[in-house]
Structure 1
């Protein structure tokens, strides 16, 4: 088998929970194959790069093997290479203990110094 429909492949490798969800993502413009918008019937073959928005995250995967039937999670993970960049690291947020009240003037100065990176 050299190629299959992109909606079927997304479902088979467990990037979409159901096949109708995969087809809806294609209809909504959330799936691209080789940087082109993909309809549900777009063919994918080994070597293709698929970008799919799943939930709140965008996954970028490279097709290694084409499958049409849903398989176990370990077997599905072998069918693609995940090229998704890691999420950006967020800076820690200064928090006060619950019930500590408003910050004093000294606390505010320390927080301002910490936020600006001053000494």
Structure 2
């Protein structure tokens, strides 16, 4: 978080949130005038899970799998709230979609903000 904003500004935003929560516990906090982290403004919305996808975290998770050299992500929108995350990966060795999905599900807890792709296209290098 400190890489997104200096400590003083971050503290001011946190105090504004706490004042609102303590002073008006029933009020929604989405109207509090705090700046969003820059990285969250780049999240991709519309995934069927309802989660805003951090494409950098997801790409890092995919390319952390041994043998994966490149990953391109795309969200295919199939109606309201029905977006599916597609991954087009280049590999340096043989790996099946099933093996890659198992590896991604095992890694996901360690990559905050990441989403395991719904569909994977593997292109051997």
Q: Same fold judged by TM-score > 0.5?
A: no
Higher helix share: 2
Larger radius of gyration: 1
